[in-house]
Amino acid sequence: MRHFHYKDGEMYAEDVALRDIAAKVGTPVYVYSTATFQRHFTVFANAFKDRTTLIAYSVKANSNLAVLATLAKLGAGADVVSQGELVRALTAGIPASKIVFSGVGKTEPEMRAALEAGIRVFNVESLPELERLSDVALSMGTRAPVAFRVNPDVSAGGHEKISTGKAENKFGIAWSSVQSAYARAAALKGIEIVGVDMHIGSQIDSLAPFEVAIEKVGALISDLRKKGHTITSFDIGGGLGIPYGDNSKTPPPPSEYGALVKKLTADMDVELIFEPGRMIAGNSGVLLSEVVYAKSGEDREFLIIDAAMNDLIRPALYEAYHEIEPVRAPGRNFKTQRYDVVGPICESGDTFTKRRELPQMAAGDLLVLHSTGAYGAAQSSQYNTRPLVPEVLVSGDRFAVVRERPKLEEILRAESIPDWV
């Protein structure tokens, strides 16, 4: 459920008219709904309320401090993949004891910062990383709590660029090497084995891949314990998809996912750790944009909007679908037109959709791209020296700018011209 709806012919975020946000903040702008974040987190948490569980929100999905603070108040932990995300999570009030550190390329400074903070666990993805982490921990006079991210070689469908659980993906320890990896970890003085981790992909629309992977890793946990390893946690990762409004399969709800996971892990005696990101953030935000021109091409009609691929790269990167609606509801007997909705950047890839049937629109009209709360602002850039898109958080009838649009002089201030030029 998302709290973006029409009222009196205008689209609102909760009880705030999007037109009012556009007038005050300008466009393009990301608009987030507090109520939607709260509802999605609570629905997921309730699916596991009778089990010992840590819900470590995947910070990479949407790392805005206001979003993290909102989730922290609900009891969320954090899944981070960089020192910057670690600092964000701590700044937003998420306790270090609820933070897991993932990622294939952790550096020594990142390891040191995480150990100093006292995070919950490192999800280790290679033996070289394990060796380096042990050395860093010993130099600090401590031990690093670890879970190996194991690659169960399970295909979960979806776009190839968001698949993470197959043998050819860069993530995790190869299934054939898991036993030797845990044996090596047990021999290192700077390492404390605490669990097992997996993450098979993103935008998964079926429970079947989860079932196969959980059963496979469950058998591994049993075998590791027989070999003397202490396994107290099972990190099942994230990956549960969301509806984007296209004709793809609707993902199962968290209640069904929770029932499956609880059934499969009932006899494992482990704390469950989850890393949901998209499921919590995706439908909690929209990208609000203005039509700059309506242009007739040789064989098609274009809507050129002021948002671009630097603001929302998912369609260009993943061929991702986003539902598009006008801010002003179309009246009775309205006419439609098939549009290519594009941005102003001089690349053909700066296209949000092709031949999409929409109400006829004109320059100055406002529209929204739905389901952009995850991997929207977090992946944005300043390509073409376009300032980073601002972010707004709505709560009831109030809203606040939670990331300002930088001024051009602020962007240029970070650069310098050498004295020999």
pLDDT in tens, 192-217: 999 999 999 888 999 999 999 999 99
pLDDT digits (tens, 9 = 90+) for 121-134: 999 999 999 999 99
Nearest to 2 by CA among 47, 23, 27, 32: 32
Asked if residue 158 has pLDDT above 60, the reply is no
For the chain, domain boundaries = 4-31+283-413, 34-279
Mean pLDDT of 48-54: 96
User: Do 124 and 162 meet the contact criterion of CB atoms below 8 Å apart?
Assistant: no
| Predicted pLDDT at 157 | 53
Confidence bin at 120 (pLDDT 50/70/90)? very high
| Predicted pLDDT at 201 | 85
Q: Which residues contact 177 (CB under 8 A, 6 or more apart)?
A: 127
Order of strands across the sheet with 10-13? 4-7, 10-13, 16-17
Confidence bin at 248 (pLDDT 50/70/90)? confident
Task: State yes or no: cis peptide before 344, omega within 30 of 0.
Answer: no
| Predicted pLDDT at 163 | 45
Tell me which of 3.20.20.10, 3.40.91.50, 1.10.10.410, 3.30.390.10 is the CATH number of domain 34-279.
3.20.20.10
Strand, coil or helix: 172 = coil
pLDDT digits (tens, 9 = 90+) for 354-372: 999 999 999 999 999 999 9
Of 187, 266, 346, 362, the catalytic one is 346
| Predicted pLDDT at 169 | 56
| Predicted pLDDT at 391 | 98
Mean pLDDT of 242-249: 82
> Which CATH number is associated with domain 4-31+283-413?
2.40.37.10
| Predicted pLDDT at 159 | 46
| Predicted pLDDT at 318 | 87
| Predicted pLDDT at 333 | 87
| Predicted pLDDT at 168 | 52
Mean pLDDT of 329-349: 94
Q: 3-state DSSP: the chain helix, strand, coil percent, rounded to 5?
A: 35, 25, 40
| Predicted pLDDT at 2 | 84
Mean pLDDT of 163-182: 74
Phi, psi of 413 (to 5 degrees): -65, -25
User: Do 332 and 341 meet the contact criterion of CB atoms below 8 Å apart?
Assistant: no
Strand, coil or helix: 171 = coil
Q: Is 191 exposed, middle or buried (0-12, 13-18, 19+ CB in 10 A)?
A: buried
Confidence bin at 332 (pLDDT 50/70/90)? confident
pLDDT digits (tens, 9 = 90+) for 66-92: 999 999 999 999 999 999 999 999 999
The DSSP secondary structure of 126-156, one letter per residue, reads -HHHHHHHHHHHHHTTS-EEEEEEEE-----
| Predicted pLDDT at 170 | 57
Percent of the chain with pLDDT over 70: 96
- The mean pLDDT of the chain is 94
pLDDT digits (tens, 9 = 90+) for 278-310: 999 999 999 999 999 999 989 999 999 999 999
Confidence bin at 245 (pLDDT 50/70/90)? confident
Helix 127-139 with 108-117: angle, nearest 10 deg: 60
User: Do 371 and 242 meet the contact criterion of CB atoms below 8 Å apart?
Assistant: yes
Nearest to 358 by CA among 328, 340, 338: 338
Nearest 5°: the CA angle 372, 375, 381 is 105
| Predicted pLDDT at 164 | 46
Confidence bin at 162 (pLDDT 50/70/90)? very low
Per the annotation, the verdict on 346 as an active-site residue is: yes
Mean pLDDT of 376-405: 98
